[in-house]
Amino acid sequence: MDNLRGLLQGFPAAERVFLTRSVDRELVLSFLMAFARAEHALKEAEFAEMQNGAITICWDRFARALGRKALESEDIQTQDAINYLTAHPPKKQVLPPKRWKKREPQRGQEPEFLVRSVTTVRNNLFHGGKEMTESLVERDQQLIRSSLLVLRHLVNSHELLREAFEITGPAHAG
């Protein structure tokens, strides 16, 4: 923790924002790492395309490929997570003005809605969709926990994606 404190020293409100005990750093890190790996696997499984000179992940195409399989799990904990994200989806931050927009599923697009709930949680978390004066509250942690379970389910529901997720792959030029 001392090394982490040193790295974060100099950020405004570092103690309050980054080092609070109410933030489950292991959960957040696990979700972000699994999400990054899933995006890598989606590229390898050809659920990506070029848009404006950049690779874009085709999450909706992936959701359509899974279909109803995305919405059903034999694992009770995973099914509870699917149900939670479907019934209590994350809101999406929009501009202007900065506000939270409620998301509603469209009939016949339930798999896409579920997958988009996972990507919305990631975007809200990663892009700072939360006010910096508050730590993650129980709802936010439930969204992250549910998204991690659903992401695992999605990866394991598609053979090519599961295989690509497991492969370490060549070194990247980063």
- Please tell me the predicted confidence (pLDDT) of residue 15: 63
* Cβ atoms within 10 Å of 114's Cβ, excluding its own: 24
The pLDDT tens digits for 95-121 are: 888 888 899 888 889 999 999 999 999
Distance CA 86, CA 110 (A): 8
Comparing CA positions, the residue from 118, 126, 57, 130 lying closest to residue 93 is: 130
How would you class 131 by CB atoms within 10 Å of its CB: exposed for 0-12, middle for 13-18, buried for 19 or more?
exposed
Write the CB contacts of 65 (distance below 8 Å, at least 6 apart in sequence): 47, 158
- Please tell me the predicted confidence (pLDDT) of residue 131: 55
- Please tell me the predicted confidence (pLDDT) of residue 133: 44
Residue with tokens 């709930």: 117
Instruction: Record the pTM.
Output: 0.86
How would you class 143 by CB atoms within 10 Å of its CB: exposed for 0-12, middle for 13-18, buried for 19 or more?
buried
- Please tell me the predicted confidence (pLDDT) of residue 50: 96
The structural domains of the chain, with segments of one domain joined by +, span 24-165
Give the rounded distance of the alpha carbon of 158 from its chain centre: 17
Mean pLDDT of the chain: 87
**β-strands 92-94, 54-57: how paired?**
unpaired
Is it true that the peptide bond before 12 is cis, omega within 30 degrees of 0?
no
Low-confidence ranges of the chain (pLDDT < 70): 1-2, 13-23, 128-136, 168-174
